Amino acid sequence: MPAESETTMADTTTDADTDGQPGQDGHDVYGHHPGLTGEGAQEMAPENVTSAANRLRELGGVLRLSEAEAAALGARMTDDSPPASPDHDQTMLINMGPQHPSTHGVLRLMLELQGETVLRTKPILGYLHTGMEWTGEELTYLQGATNVTRMDYASPLFNELAFSMAVEKLLGVEVPERAVWIRMLMTEMNRISSHLLFLATNGMDLGAVSMMLYGWREREEVLRFFEKVTGLRMNHNYIRPGGVAADLPDGWRDDVLRLLEMIPPRLDEYDILMTGQPIWRNRLQGVGVISAAECLALGVSGPILRSTGYAWDLRRDEPYLAYEDLEFDVVVGSYGDCFDRYAIRLAEVRESIRLVHQILEAMPTGDYRVQDKKVTPPPRARIDESMEALIHHFKIFTEGFKVPEGEVYAAVESPRGELGCYIVSDGSSHPYRLHIRAPSFVNLQTLPHMMRGGLLADAVAVISSVDPIMGEVDR
């Protein structure tokens, strides 16, 4: 592995687990195990150099014990404890990623394999870290949406929505009704496109490569609609504090109706191609099982939590926008396996279509953003006429609008789970602290538990069914 050659330039690893005696146990002259690279403490050490307490943690001890119990147990175990299995030299540490066809970007996993059976897994993050939360603290609230939209790039509108809702909470402004419904329309369409992307990659990861192209094809149609409305296929910066950037364009209703007519028959085709396919079922059913209790212990949300039968959907349980006016079902599974997660997402596309139909019916007329001169920039025409408008425009785009002191958390149900935005404001025009509770980041914690005991091919199915977006994980 290329990873091993990096050992020579490794910094002094501080983790006691990874240090060994030079020349012993295959350690190199620096005392590092050859299975490790310069990433240091993040990496998974071979079993024989991992302390018992650490092993317990990696095997999910805290999921089955209380944290206090696990800590007590861990404290009693010393590093001299013998390795858990005597045949640890029969296992192989293998790197999956950050460059790997099915780790959905730059996720890196270290797997301990015995044959093809996965014994331990450790996700290693940070390969896409660009400090977006910090960047968000340097940008004004108006610019903020441009930043957050790049986090979960498969469902950008949800990021903008969560951010805008948090800012609006701080500002205390009420968004006009039409803006609320436009937001719902756009996010539901985005949920469709995001789930289509999942269906595509899920198919590809399991070897049904045609599915990838079919999924992308349908998603492209939805993105075309987004482009018409927002000007961009991704990273829209469309939902902004105070409303949305622009009203829906002429003929939007026909475009949406065309999509709503086009997608359901295609979903039926997916059913034929995948859902009913025996190989597909065998590959997914009973694979990567997780229970509701484990999900709750890990803070997992979204389709993974719902696949265990736990009906939790923020749209229904903590309604935001106008979801309480709409009728929809929260789809749950009963086995908590990869197949349930696949089926739930497929069903959620259908639910979203149902929602969009209702939204089309109920779309009100009116303003698409708050008419608050301090928050929303004036129309271009007003600037030529009114000195005041010019000043507002200038202030908003140079200094930005000021937001009252306070802290706030707003959460939406993104296609991947609870997407939260936490903002601390010090009264200035940019956040003092911006934090995004990214569902992918939390959901990744389930990987070691779902992969354990499965085969390498199952590991791929599990990653796929978690549907992580690395931009959101590393932020």
Partner 1 sequence: MSLLVTGSAIVAQQGDPLLFDVDLTAVGIVVGKVLVIFAFLLVATMFMVWFERKLISDMQNRIGPNLAGPFGILQTLADGIKFFFKEDLIPDRAQRRVFILAPFLSFVPAFLLFVVIPFGGDFNDGNAGVVTIFGRETFLQVADPPIGVLFILAMSSLAVYGAMLAGWSSGSKYPLLGSVRQSAQMISYEAAMGLAIIAVVVKTGSLSTHDIVVTQAGEGLGGILPNWGVLLTLGVPFVIFVIAATAELNRPPFDLVEAEQELVGGFHTEYSSIRFALFFLAEFMNTVTMSAIFVTLFLGGPAGPVLFGPGWLWGIIWFALKVFVFLFMFVWFRATLPRLRYDQLMDLGWKVLIPLSLGWILLLVALDLAQDQNWNLFAVGIGAAVVFFCAAMLLRAAVRSGQATRHTLEVPD
In angstroms, the CA 168 to CA 242 distance is: 7
- Say how many Å lie between the first and final Cα of the chain, rounded: 28
Which of residues 146 and 291 has its CB atom nearest to partner 1 in the complex?
291
In angstroms, the CA 320 to CA 146 distance is: 22
Provide the minimum distance between the beta carbon of 195 and partner 1 in the complex, in angstroms, as a whole number: 19
Name every residue whose Cβ is closer than 8 Å to that of residue 85 and which is 6 or more positions away in sequence.
47
Which of residues 161 and 204 has its CB atom nearest to partner 1 in the complex?
204
Which of residues 50 and 95 has its CB atom nearest to partner 1 in the complex?
95
Which of residues 4 and 247 has its CB atom nearest to partner 1 in the complex?
4
Provide the minimum distance between the beta carbon of 293 and partner 1 in the complex, in angstroms, as a whole number: 6
Residue 281 host element (H or E): helix 278-284
Which of residues 164 and 201 has its CB atom nearest to partner 1 in the complex?
201
Measured on CA atoms in the order 288, 291, 295, 301, is the torsion positive or negative? positive
DSSP 112: E
Per-residue tokens: 304: 């993974």
Positions in the binding site for partner 1 (CB under 8 A): 1, 92, 94, 100-102, 115-116, 203-210, 213-214, 217, 273-274, 277, 279-280, 282-283, 285-286, 289, 291-293, 296, 308-310, 334-337, 455-460
Provide the minimum distance between the beta carbon of 2 and partner 1 in the complex, in angstroms, as a whole number: 9
Sheet holding 406-414, edge to edge: 406-414, 417-425, 433-437
Which of residues 158 and 214 has its CB atom nearest to partner 1 in the complex?
214
Task: Name beta bridge partners: 162.
Answer: none
In angstroms, the CA 377 to CA 363 distance is: 24
Per-residue tokens: 395: 């202030």
Provide the minimum distance between the beta carbon of 146 and partner 1 in the complex, in angstroms, as a whole number: 34
Provide the minimum distance between the beta carbon of 191 and partner 1 in the complex, in angstroms, as a whole number: 24
Provide the minimum distance between the beta carbon of 301 and partner 1 in the complex, in angstroms, as a whole number: 15
Provide the minimum distance between the beta carbon of 277 and partner 1 in the complex, in angstroms, as a whole number: 7
How many Cα neighbours within 13 Å face the side chain of 403? 29
Listed residue (315, 363, 360, 355) closest to 179, CA to CA: 363
Determine how many CB atoms are found less than 10 A away from the CB of residue 140: 18
Which of residues 115 and 427 has its CB atom nearest to partner 1 in the complex?
115
